[in-house]
Chain A
Amino acid sequence: MPEHSPEHPGNQAPGSNYFPSGDFLESPNLATELTQIADVDAYNLEALHNLDPDQVPEDAVKKRLGWTFWIAAAWIFLIVALALLAPLLEKLGMPDPTQPVCTSRDCSLQPPLSGYGLMGTDKLRRDIFARVIWGARVSILVGVAAVIFGIFFGSIIGIIAGFFKGKVQTVLMGAMDVLLAFPALLLAMSIVTFLDDKSVKTIVLAIGIVAIPPVARLVRASTLVFAEREFVLAARTLGASNGRVITKEILPNAVLPIVSFGIIGVAVAIVAEGALAFLGLSIPPPDPTWGSMINEGRATLETAPWVTLMPCLVLFLTVLSLNLAGDRLREYFDIREGAL
């Protein structure tokens, strides 16, 4: 499987253009997007399942991750490192993200590299660079935690459905379909509103719940594939219980596609947090998040575009990198899979 959305004659791969790049502000339907990614994965897994290992071309096995992957990985590493080191950077002289950098009026809405920090200042005279860095903490924390939440519960549901099949599967996957039927952003918004709490915990819960169904679908698909592998049968002929078969034989193998999927999931979750923040449903001001920064800059978009543009750019690059990295990893592992 060298490409991820090749033309599958007669049987079109669902969601071939799943790439959620820069158009995040148009509130993409998060669940649909995740589902499409999962479906493409599921589709590929099934295609691989039908593929004779001998048909996998020799040179496909030696495939490399490529330089795009390493550039993307470097950017992700940079952002994560800066976010983690934010308190240290502040001690080293980075301005407080919630306080004006000066008392006089002149320093509000200063452009980037004008002597007021790398990215300029916003209307309230705060340093945009510092705010972007501190905002990264929220974005990454929410993104990673929500995806872990989604993967944890989604995996349990998917593996149980895929392993036991029958009625269990009908009930579980039916429930997932119901969850999917809600517009995802609306669902996340109602959870935040209903809990009436704009803490990181709530945001994670809201986005994490939305991430469960697509993960469950993906895991179910790969469970179906691995449950038929001979080594699973071999484990059974040695007397392994269902629990052992699931946790020791199927889970570790099903994890690979989940991990690379999870990286793309983080990107989608970061966008989702941005959307919630943009709507005023995330961490309340003055604490910065990327989404709320973009929102705050809207008023001065014409006179001082950088206030919106800077967090936009960082968000865009981060999401793009995560997508690229996740995508490359998926291809990489899929091929190893086929070569087994």
Chain B
Amino acid sequence: MSRKDLTGSAAGRDPNAPLLDVRDIKTHFRTERGTVRAVDGVSFTLQRGRTLGVVGESGSGKSVLSKSIMGLLPRRNVLREGQVLYEGLDVSVLDENQMRNIWGAEMSMVFQDPMTSLNPVMKIGKQIKESLYLHLNMSKDDAHDTAVALLSSVNIPEPEQRLEEYPHQLSGGMRQRVVIAIALACGPKLLFADEPTTALDVTVQAQILNLLQQQQHERHMAMILVTHDLGVVAGRTDDIAVMYAGRVVETAPTATLFTAMRHPYTEALMASIPKLTDPSHTRLEAIGGRPPDLINPPAGCKFAPRCKYAQDRCLQEDPPLMDAGEPGHSFRCFYPVGTDAGAQALANNAAAGRSASGVPVTLAASGSH
């Protein structure tokens, strides 16, 4: 009997439920310095075959979010809350043994650095076949053929030969293709790609992203693409969630986010995308100030200390998730970008020369919007 039968794969699953429904999940780490609120109340749903981009600065909790959803974090000193409904089944309460039937077969993950995410002393072929044997109970010959097919589907030339090679014999881009082939091997319905191109050459990045997109499309697989670069998700995802300090501060369909962003943090991220039209050495507008303290977060809006729109209210009150009017677009901000309230706030700050949290604001900056 294959291990798949043991899951009771049908049990508790609802074919009409969204593929993934994340409800107010929190992941806190207990450390010597205090409790790190790495993920602090994130909710979203993802339908079959759709892609979600998760964007945020380093340390905003993107990786912890993916690992929490997949249930990969250790139990010790980790506080978890909330529900992760996968096809209607709450997988956040499953133990490791039960998750093993889901990992690889239903959800899998592509990691950031292909240098470290392949076993250096195992042949590539063996690394691909492992999960084919495990989840699909394939025979040796079938696994071999499947592995060859997988490698050619991720555009690796001479797949037969590659099977016999070790990771160090391949270039970074090739390795990441192998990692993707491994993640796709058992036909998961949900793929996490955690900064899949950060460790790669710029020239290879687009190829890998296109490959992921193409595979996602062909397999009608849902994908969560994690990145710190809004430019990466532009045009590649259906929806985008912008994370800051362990929370989603704005979420919207991709096109809407780019044309009608509401949160000042999204705006700041947008300004830091390198544009093709820029002369090659243009300095990017970095977001001023420090990333948030996840142990002692500020009382009000978490972004207020770095925000040029910040008013007194932002320092005291934590903005809830608000509806932006269009379907699927919501944000956490009292003075949203592109609204009268926002324009007024920025004008006030420009007049004062600084925001309520002390960020210097000049007239030029206020004129840009």
Contacts and interface: CB of A to CB of B under 8 A. Distances in A.
Same complex for A and B? Answer yes
Interface of A: 53, 166, 229-231, 233-241, 244, 248-249, 252-253, 340
Nearest to B126: A248
A231 B115 CA distance: 9
Interface stretch (B127-135, B234-242, B263-271, B304-312): B127-135
A340 B116 contact: yes
A238 B183 CA distance: 7
A1 B118 CA distance: 23
A240 B134 contact: yes
In this complex, the member of A230, A233, A238, A248 whose beta carbon has the largest number of chain B beta carbons within 10 angstroms is A238
Nearest to B114: A230
A234 B182 CA distance: 10
Contacts of B76: 166
In this complex, the member of B118, B130, B186 whose beta carbon has the largest number of chain A beta carbons within 10 angstroms is B130
Interface in B81-121: 100-105, 107-109, 111-113, 115-121
A233 B111 contact: yes
B179 interface: yes
Interface residues of B, number: 33
In the A-B complex, list the 10 residue pairs whose CB atoms are closest, starting with the nearest: A238-B104, A239-B104, A230-B116, A239-B103, A238-B131, A230-B117, A239-B100, A237-B109, A231-B119, A252-B121
Interface string B114-151: 01111111100000001100110000000000000000
Contacts of B182: 234, 238
Given A233-B117, A235-B119, A237-B70, 15 more contacts: A231-B116, A234-B117, A236-B103, A237-B103, A237-B183, A238-B103, A239-B103, A240-B100, A240-B130, A244-B130, A244-B134, A248-B130, A252-B121, A253-B119, A340-B120
Nearest to B100: A239
Contact of B111 (A234, A239, A240, A248): A234
Binding site secondary structure of chain B? loop
Nearest to B112: A230
Nearest to A249: B119
B72 interface: yes
A230 B175 CA distance: 14
B196 to A, nearest CB: 13
Contact of A230 (B103, B105, B113, B183): B113
Contacts of B130: 235, 238, 240, 244, 248
A176 to B, nearest CB: 23
A231 B107 CA distance: 17
Nearest to B192: A237
B72 A233 contact: yes
In this complex, the member of B70, B117, B131, B179 whose beta carbon has the largest number of chain A beta carbons within 10 angstroms is B117
A252 B121 CA distance: 7
A219 to B, nearest CB: 16
B111 A230 contact: yes
Contact of A53 (B105, B115, B121): B115
18 contacts: A229-B116, A230-B112, A231-B117, A234-B109, A234-B179, A235-B130, A237-B72, A237-B109, A237-B183, A238-B130, A238-B182, A238-B185, A239-B131, A241-B100, A249-B119, A253-B119, A340-B116, A340-B120
Contacts of B112: 230
B200 to A, nearest CB: 14
A249 B120 CA distance: 9
A244 B127 CA distance: 12
A155 to B, nearest CB: 16
A108 B72 CA distance: 74
Nearest to A250: B119
A28 to B, nearest CB: 34
Contacts of B118: 231, 234
A253 B121 contact: yes
Interface in B177-196: 179, 182-183, 185-186
